[in-house]
Amino acid sequence: MHGTKVPVVVSSCIEEVEKRGLGLEGLYRVSGMTSEVLKIKKEFDRDASADLQAYVDPHAITGALKLYLRELPVPLITFDAYDMALIAAGCRRQDERLETMSKALSRLPPAHYNTLRHLLRHLYKVQMMKSANRMDAKNLSVVFAPTLMRSPDNTGDLSAVQKLPHQRKAVEVLITHCHKLFQY
C-alpha cells in the first residue's frame, strides 16, 4: 500500500460485492472455494486488476479481499495504533470510547487510514442489511478483527488469544461508528 489511494484490489472487490447485493446470507463469513480465491489473487498480483464479473461465487470475491488484507505486512490498524484501539474498546462511556478510537485512527498512515475508511464504509452497509445477510457489526467483527489488527508481538501465545475479544470489540466500534470516526 503506497501513497494515499485505496488499493485496486480493495476497491474492486468492494464494488463487485456491492453490485451483486449485500443481502447474501453469510457475506464474509462463508468461505469461497480456495481455488477461486487464489485465482482472483493471482489476477490482481499479475496486473493489478481482475475481471471479477467472471467469478460466479461472490464468496470467492470476499475471500480474496480478506486474503489480501490478511497478507498485508502491516495490518490496516497498524502496530502503532493497536494498543490505543484496544484501550478504546475497553472504555465504558461511548463519548470516551469514540474519542480514544479517534486518537488511535490519527496514528494511521494516510494509506491505511483511507483504506480502512473505505472498508468500514462498506462493512457498515453490509451490517445495515443484517436482516437478510445475518451479518451484524458483531458478526463482522468476528470475521475481520484478526485480519485488521494484530498484536505488534504477534507470537500467537495466550495473551494474543486473550486480546481477541478486545480486538473484536474495537472492530465492532469502528463499523458501528465509522461515520463519526472518519472524515468523509
User: Structural domains in the chain?
Assistant: 8-181 (1.10.555.10)
Residues 66-83 pLDDT 10s: 999 999 999 999 999 999
Most distant pair of Cα atoms in the chain: their distance:
47
Judged by average pLDDT, the poorest of 35-49, 124-138, 167-181 is 35-49
Q: Which whole-number Å values give the CA distances from 93 to 89, 98, 100, 162, 177, in the listed order?
A: 10, 9, 11, 22, 14
Long-range contacts of 67-70 (CB under 8 A, 24+ apart): 67/37, 67/41, 68/7, 68/9, 68/10, 68/13, 68/41, 68/44, 69/10, 69/119, 69/144, 69/147, 69/148, 70/146, 70/147
Q: Has residue 153 got a pLDDT over 90?
A: no
The whole-number average pLDDT for the span 118-135 is 98
The secondary structure of 45-114 as a DSSP string is HHHS---GGG-S-HHHHHHHHHHHHHT-SS-SB-HHHHHHHHHHHH-SSHHHHHHHHHHHHHTS-HHHHH
Reported pTM:
0.93
Would you give the DSSP letter of residue 23? T
Residue 149, classed as helix, strand or coil, is: strand
Residues 18-64 pLDDT 10s: 999 899 999 999 999 999 999 999 999 998 788 899 999 999 999 99
